[in-house]
Amino acid sequence: EGDHCPHLKTDATANIRQGIQYNAIGAREGYWLYREHPGDGVLAANGLDLTLVPATDVCHLYRAMRPGQDRGEPWLARALRTLYDLDGYLDAELIRKKNAARFLGFIKRIIQDEDGSPGGGPLGTDAADDDGAATLEFEPGTLQVLADGEDVIFSDPKDVGPNFDMFVRQSLRGVSVAAGVLYEELSGDYTGGNDRTLRAALNSFRRSVEMWQHHLVVFQVCRPVWRRWIDLALLSGALRLPDGMTRQQAYAVNWIPPSWPYIHPVQDVEGKLLEIQGGLSTRTRKVAENGYDSEVVDAEQKADNDRADNLGLVYSSDGRQKVKTATSATADAAAADATGSPASGSNPNA
């Protein structure tokens, strides 16, 4: 966690900034880290002692907002004030709802003589307390007779009306913008838009997520871990590079993130097929977008075809076979009815 590296540790003479030590040319040399998490390090021996860990042994994942930025910031840092105000507003609204549900009432009494005091009388109130106030509890179905000069005033907390939903919605929208996520994903409220607007918003959100995947996670975590794994595997003898392959070539791998689910499966798949048929993309690229390796998919298809051949099975997914699907048969029948000619593959003498 980022808490292991104290951001207050700065020493200009040792070239340390926010817990990160730099060398003479400005490259990161190491990180000063607590042995234990500072939240529970006081309970462990030497838990709050700082140790310099080489930068090559640390994967520092953060979003840099400017060149030369040493540390990152929490994704919700810019929305903390909004979240704090929203939490206070929800608490106040909850208290107002509770008070309204309790059906509070106040008895107004007009005392004309000097000896009059609250408590007792036809209202059946409890005895007055030290401050001279008395209370009365009603039961369901009670018809209470008031004494002369008494009146009942019930509490009527003002309702915020439609402003409550509007305020909460606008606050959550501000939080979603600060965090870089969709309002619908943050709040779970999908009532404000239709299918087309949601799809357009998801496309923009996916571009941001893909940027975070490739420019943050891959560069700051995946590549260092892969390089370290290759180095250790080669040094231990567990892995040998093929003849002619250099270590730099072994470092170069294609990182495939998890795929996005289809919004409209039929339309999305048809769009990908048209891109491949029109030469705008390749099967390898489209398979990678689905989170798979094209070589693995091809091997699985070959295994399926071989198994089908051995069992004497024919499927429409096999491009080597001419299989008429239900959709194509219906289309041929409709065309035959329109032209008056028999459908293809049918026997006119039958």
Residue 344: the pLDDT is 52
Asked whether residue 221 carries a pLDDT value surpassing 90, the answer given is: yes
Considering only CA atoms, give the Rg of the chain. 36
Asked whether residue 80 carries a pLDDT value surpassing 90, the answer given is: yes
Distance, C-alpha 64 to centroid of its chain: 20
Q: How far apart are CA 343 and CA 150, in angstroms?
A: 95
What torsion, rounded to 10 degrees, do the Cα atoms 172, 175, 176, 179 define?
-160
- The residue with tokens 């998890």 is 258
Q: Is the pTM of this model over 0.75?
A: no
CB 164 within 8 A of CB 93: yes
Q: How far apart are CA 190 and CA 184, in angstroms?
A: 6
pLDDT digits (tens, 9 = 90+) for 310-346: 998 888 877 777 766 555 555 566 666 666 655 555 5
Asked whether residue 350 carries a pLDDT value surpassing 50, the answer given is: no
Asked whether residue 226 carries a pLDDT value surpassing 80, the answer given is: yes
Q: How far apart are CA 275 and CA 286, in angstroms?
A: 9
Nearest residue to 159 (alpha-carbon basis) of 100, 89, 88: 100
Average pLDDT over residues 132-149: 64
In DSSP terms, 54 is beta-bridged to 30
The 3-state DSSP class for residue 199 equals: helix
pLDDT digits (tens, 9 = 90+) for 28-43: 999 999 888 887 756 6
Tell me the residue length of the chain.
Answer: 350
What ranges do the domains of the chain cover? 2-73, 80-154, 163-251, 293-339
And the tokens for 83? 């979240």
Residue 119: the pLDDT is 45
For residue 329, give every residue at least 6 positions away whose Cβ sits within 8 Å of its Cβ, in sequence order, or none.
343
Low-confidence winner among 50-54, 151-155, 177-181, 255-259 (lowest mean pLDDT)? 151-155
Mean pLDDT of the chain: 81
pLDDT digits (tens, 9 = 90+) for 240-250: 988 888 888 88
Q: How far apart are CA 28 and CA 154, in angstroms?
A: 69
Query: What angle is formed at CA 143 by the lines to CA 142 and CA 148, rounded to 5 degrees?
Result: 135
CB 32 within 8 A of CB 51: yes
pLDDT digits (tens, 9 = 90+) for 150-177: 777 776 667 766 788 889 999 999 999 9
Exposure string of 26-61, with b = 16+ CB inside 10 Å and e = fewer, is eeebbbbbbebeeeebeeeeeeeeeeeeebeebebe
CB 168 within 8 A of CB 86: yes
Residue 199 CB neighbours (<10 A) = 13
Asked whether residue 120 carries a pLDDT value surpassing 50, the answer given is: no
CB 111 within 8 A of CB 149: yes
Q: How far apart are CA 86 and CA 166, in angstroms?
A: 12
CA atoms within 13 A on the CB side of 325: 7
pLDDT digits (tens, 9 = 90+) for 195-208: 788 888 888 888 88
Nearest residue to 31 (alpha-carbon basis) of 3, 8, 53: 53
Asked whether residue 121 carries a pLDDT value surpassing 50, the answer given is: no
Low-confidence winner among 55-59, 218-222, 261-265 (lowest mean pLDDT)? 261-265
